[in-house]
Structure 1
């Protein structure tokens, strides 16, 4: 069976499914991360937005994103990710374009919140989709190709958005970058298949080979009765809080890196775009290498701990040096950003290996949901601190401390399918 999975059938799945996942998540990321460029390019001045309100507007996306993660994930598991993401693509494309058409703060706030709602179903639905198609020996790499949509998109978006703003203004950037999601919705509907049994390009034997391989993995996992029990599991809670603190650092970094670099360097928006792209360029080879290692040697925790630790150390070193050593500080930020992205594939590969199939959709969505809450807190507080103090020092301390907490929680959490408990130190909470 494993030989069948790793041969022709494996090539079919990687060639047909991974591009779908990558493009879909890429488009979602494009339409959430470009707000940082709009904020750095005059959106606040044109709409008379104060720094505190600007940070709240940037964070409102993540509040909407937080609200529907768990229902979206459960719907994708029980019904259809295909239908859910089709409508999500159309809605978020339209709302992203509408960001470039608003003329007052109230409308902008509503659009940002609704954009978060529209995109909230994407990440849990795509992770659940991949867990239906790829086995334990493949899952970290499959997840990584999904998450590569993040740094690769921000990489080209950082450059493209700078040029679009230069040519069409921030309004033109939002409108142009919202259109691809609506176009992709049609393609998605034609080519997507929820599960192996829905794929017309697989034979019955191939469908059974995948389903049997996935069923075998479930035999070693401790049963969990229902979603309520899963949400109360110390292990699920630990993973959720790791993701929460990790994303405080990650999304504060993503949302406000262009503004912070522009302030510290004194360079124009195009040059800032190029500098902002570097962490995402580094993330690509790191993510691919780490996910390959994680699958080959079945190392999940070690990868997450090592790269989150590296990210925290480089991040703290960067703000300790400060703007007086701009280029060294920027280089450390590049390493920190790349390192923070790297463990996503192994981290989410671990969840369906620890949680049984009957509740994994809700549990994974719950972990994603806490990450969205961390994103809201990171984007809001970082923007608020930048506006309050007039420099990024306080927000760097906040993000660095959050990353350290994520590292400590990871060190205390047992990434194992043999038990639903943590090490004694964590269980005591």
Structure 2
């Protein structure tokens, strides 16, 4: 019976989660294409201001992570995401209508605020529907909305920009989120107990299975206690550094590629999609083996280390060998995305349900700050140095440190669990 329920959950819920996060990612990441294709020129935006606009999203994204996760856990992820879909779709489309740079500042910041609750709310939602042995893969299919969206977005956005210009690209790519909000509301249930497609016995059996997983986790009273724990502090710092590399890469890859000789915007779109093909493959492989072995750390830090090395070698080769540098960027991009599923499976396994959502939100909010720093500093370094070498070094160093912190954080969690087991035994 449990096997039948498992199939139903994967078929019903994972495509919904994937599409929802995919639309969120579309409406935050297409700014890089707009900036590279006329938006900056039409609104008379300097390179420094463009970097700030590109990163301003993440400043807004930082503020409402924890309140969003708390609302999703205590009340309703379904309701929160419904209104978020509508608001971010409207804001994203409004980007294509503005003629004033001040309004663009407001929209980018507001878009970050609206989307800030989506990732932690979706992680909370999935934790209500998937067990420990499934969680890395469930998280991965959610976060696949990130590279998979960039994969098709780079191609679609390239053609929209080439045929209709940047304004129509923003308008067209914001509308699907509003439509999807009503589909989401119709077909999603917050928890198994709310699902009409499960029998009462199936609901009880599955809830009992989730409760059993909580038995081996030491109780934590509140968010304050959880946030002060060493593993959460280290994972927050780790995700901050990791996100510097990821979003510096995402925001500026189109500009890096377009700088190559005789490179059109359509060719830029196609080439920018290649790292995300590798990302999808590596994310699926890493999450599968992480769930199979229940080893999270081993499928996080090695990938980040490889990404750091690829960035550094790309820097060492220099800009004179574009295609070799491009292959290394593909490797860096792919390996940076690979560990997301295993990474977000760590917290629900070391903290109880009453605080795990908030802890994931805190970590994700620190990632937002890292994203802000990454997209802004990489843009600043590109403008200040007139090239991309300095930003490669910056991203490589950040990824290297994040790999070290991953090992430290997981070891701290194991030590904390051992101490807790000793106390409980005493």
Contact kept, 8 Å, 2:230 with 2:412, in 1: the verdict is no
Question: Cα gap change, 1:44/1:225 in structure 2, threshold over 3 Å: closer, same or farther?
Answer: same
Match of 1:309 among 305, 308, 317: 305
Alignment of 1:102-121 (within 5 A): 102-121=98-117
- 158, 161, 176: which one aligns with 1:162: 158
Deviations 1:295-344 (A, max 9, x none): 01111000001111111111211122121111011001101101100000
Cα distance in 2, alignment partners of residues 238 and 156 from structure 1: 34
Q: Please, what TM-score do these two structures have when normalized by structure 1? A: 0.96
Report the CA distance between 1:265 and its aligned residue: 4.3
1:266-320 Cα offsets, whole Å, 9 max, x none, are 4011101111000101111111111110001111000001111111111211122
Cα RMSD of the aligned pairs, angstroms, is 1.4
Q: Is the 8 A contact 1:243 1:370 kept in 2?
A: yes
Number of residue pairs matched?
419
Deviation at 1:419, TM superposition (A): 4.5
Which residue among 27, 30, 51 is the counterpart of 1:31? 27
Note if 1:378 corresponds to 2:374.
yes
Task: Say yes or no: does 1:352 pair with 2:352.
Answer: no
Partner in structure 1 of residue 15 of structure 2: 19
Q: How does 1:268-287 map to 2 (within 5 A)?
A: 268-287=264-283
Q: 1:363 to 1:70 in 2, by over 3 A?
A: same
Q: Quote the residue 1:171 is aligned against.
A: 167
Q: Is structure 2 residue 208 aligned with structure 1 residue 212?
A: yes
Check if 1:324 corresponds to 2:353.
no
CA drift at 1:225: 1.5
Cα distance between partner residues in 1 of 2:417 and 2:201: 38
**Counterpart in the other structure of 1:43:** 39
Q: Does 1:142 align with 2:138?
A: yes
TM-aligned CA deviation for residue 415 of structure 1 = 5.5
Counterpart in the other structure of 1:243: 239
Q: CA deviation at 1:411?
A: 2.4
SS, match of residue 165 in structure 2: helix
Q: Measure, in 2, the Cα distance between the counterparts of 1:342 and 1:386.
A: 26
Task: Classify the secondary structure of the residue corresponding to 1:256.
Answer: helix
Contact in 1 for aligned 2:48/2:379 (Cα 8 Å): yes
Q: Where in structure 1 are there 5+ consecutive unaligned residues? A: 424-429
Distance 1:363 1:397 in 2: 30
Checking the alignment, whether the CA contact within 8 Å between 2:68 and 2:121 is kept in structure 1 is yes
Shift of 1:224: 1.1
Q: What is the distance in 1 between the residues matched to 2:205 and 2:14?
A: 19
1:341 counterpart = 2:358 = no
Distance 1:122 1:181, change over 3 A: same
User: What is the TM-score with the length of structure 2 in the denominator?
Assistant: 0.96
Q: Bigger shift: 386-395 or 409-418? A: 409-418
1:363-418 deviation digits (Å, cap 9, x = unpaired)? 11111111111001111111111122221111111111111110111122226865
2:321 partner SS: helix
Structure-1 residue corresponding to 2:250: 254
The answer on 1:414 being equivalent to 2:410 is: yes
Cα separation, 1, equivalents of 2:238 and 2:417: 15
Q: Quick check: 1:388 aligned with 2:371?
A: no
